[in-house]
A and B are shown apart, each in its own frame.
Chain A
Amino acid sequence: DQQVKQNSPSLSVQEGRISILNCDYTNSMFDYFLWYKKYPAEGPTFLISISSIKDKNEDGRFTVFLNKSAKHLSLHIVPSQPGDSAVYFCAAPSADGLTFGKGTHLIIQP
């Protein structure tokens, strides 16, 4: 049972535009969420997080929005840059450490 779901395997966005990556979760006990970014041949690296007491967290070009009633969060990247091309994982802490979604491959086109 996938408790964290990323339903878009890939997303293509033009450079300079906004990238919106979506994530849904089923476990209402989750109270903290993280986004990780992964380049090929590298391990995932932490990008941004949000606590359930907030509905928005911003860090530079990256903003994460949380809609608890819909059990949905999204990562906005604006403006998108070529270096943002990577796989993005949504994750939530659990008894096992982190429960990850399957990831969304973001491709930034020039």
Chain B
Amino acid sequence: DSGVTQTPKHLITATGQRVTLRCSPRSGDLSVYWYQQSLDQGLQFLIQYYNGEERAKGNILERFSAQQFPDLHSELNLSSLELGDSALYFCASSVDPHEVSGNTIYFGEGSWLTVV
């Protein structure tokens, strides 16, 4: 158990709909990262927040947005869903984004989104 909690674990929704994925970081971690893993792709970085502020943006579509709340949990909002958005969405957390090493970034188990 990494200490990073993601909900829901599985979600099936129709094209055009909107979903929200939730992440609770490890206790004490200030930084949250969102990654997308599609079938033919590796882990694609989407966005990072640090202590409530957006810190870095990756390959995140305009239809997607995220935020980190004062209690440090984060939500990833996916709207106008398309079939190609079906993927595993991972949240990860770390204490300090400037101290990046293997044992300081912890991943949740992922939210599996299926768009039909």
Taking the closest CB of chain B, its distance from the CB of A32, in whole angstroms, is 7
The segment out of B40-48, B61-69, B76-84 that lies at the interface is B40-48
Say if the beta carbon of B110 comes within 8 Å of chain A.
Answer: yes
Q: Which residues of B contact A (CB under 8 A)?
A: 2, 4, 31, 33, 35, 41-45, 48, 56, 58, 90, 92, 94, 97, 100-103, 105, 107-110
**Given that A45-B2, A95-B56 are contacting pairs, would A103 and B105 also be in contact in the complex, using a CB cutoff of 8 Å?**
no
* Cβ contact within 8 Å between A46 and B102: yes
CA distance A39 to B26 in the complex (A): 21
What are 6 A-to-B residue pairs whose CB atoms are below 8 Å? A41-B109, A46-B102, A49-B102, A91-B43, A97-B45, A100-B44
Q: Which residues of A contact B101 (CB under 8 A)?
A: 32, 34, 49, 93
Q: Which residues of B contact A34 (CB under 8 A)?
A: 101-102
* Cβ contact within 8 Å between B48 and A48: no
**Given that A43-B109, A43-B110, A46-B103 are contacting pairs, would A100 and B43 also be in contact in the complex, using a CB cutoff of 8 Å?**
yes
* Cβ contact within 8 Å between B41 and A102: yes
CA distance A99 to B94 in the complex (A): 15
CA distance A49 to B104 in the complex (A): 12
* Cβ contact within 8 Å between A43 and B90: yes
Q: Which residue of B lies closest to A51 (CB)?
A: B101
* Cβ contact within 8 Å between B56 and A96: yes
Say if the beta carbon of A36 comes within 8 Å of chain B.
Answer: yes
Within 8 A of B (CB), among A12-51: 32, 34-36, 41-49
* Cβ contact within 8 Å between B56 and A44: no
* Cβ contact within 8 Å between B105 and A46: yes
* Cβ contact within 8 Å between B108 and A43: yes
* Cβ contact within 8 Å between B45 and A44: no
Q: Which residues of A contact B42 (CB under 8 A)?
A: 6, 89, 100-103
